[in-house]
Structure 1
Amino acid sequence: MYSDQILPAAKAQVGQRRVEKIDVSGAVSSWNPAYLKTAIEKSDSAPAQTNDPDGIRAVVSSTLGRQAKRVSVQETRDGTLTR
């Protein structure tokens, strides 16, 4: 799955059901929030890596149509987006 397909796929799975919490865990310090809107895997000029957990939270909450306070963003040691 390309990076810009992750959130639409999650939204399709959840639909209109109630969501208590969204946990974004992974290589937060090396992701740019734009990666979740633009397929970096197919891009010739991917946006620079940034450490922007608030930006990731904003993109996730707006794309999924949920309140930002329901989204937690945390770095994991292995550096892989896990959930």
Structure 2
Amino acid sequence: MYSDQILPAIKAQVGQRRVEKIDVSGAVSAWNPSYLKTAIERSDSAPAQKNDPDGIRTVVVGTLGRQSKKVSVREVPDGTLTR
């Protein structure tokens, strides 16, 4: 799945159902929030990496239509399995 397809796929699965919490975890410091809007995998000139957890939260909230307080964004070291 391309990076810009992740949030729309989640939205399609969840629909209008109640969501208690959204956890965005991974190599957050290596992502630019724009990767979630424009697929880095198909881009000729990908935006630079940017450590912007609040920017990622803003894109997730806007795309999924959820409250910001329900979205956590956290860095997880490479190779760490959390779930």
Q: Could you say whether these structures have the same fold, taking a TM-score greater than 0.5 normalized by the shorter chain as the test?
A: yes
Which position in structure 2 is the counterpart of 1:32? 32
Q: 5 Å matches for 1:57-76?
A: 57-76=57-76
Aligned to 1:22: 22
Residue identity opposite 1:7 in structure 2: L
- Deviation at 1:26? 0.6
Quote the offset at 1:79 in angstroms: 6.4
Aligned length: 82
| Alignment TM-score, normalising by the size of structure 2 | 0.93
Secondary structure in 1 aligned to 2:73?
Answer: strand
Output the amino acid matched with 2:28. V
Structure-1-length-normalised TM-score: 0.93
CA deviation after TM superposition for structure 1 residue 78, in Å: 1.3
Misfit runs of 4+, over 3 Å = none
Post-superposition Cα deviations, 1:16-53, rounded to whole Å, max 9, x if no partner, equal: 10001000001100100000000100000011100000
Identity %: 84
Unaligned 5+ segments in structure 1 are none
User: Within 5 A, what are the aligned runs for 1:48-59?
Assistant: 48-59=48-59
- Aligned-residue Cα RMSD (Å) equals 1.7
Give the structure 2 partner of residue 13 of structure 1: 13
Aligned-partner Cα distance in 2 for 1:79–1:60? 24
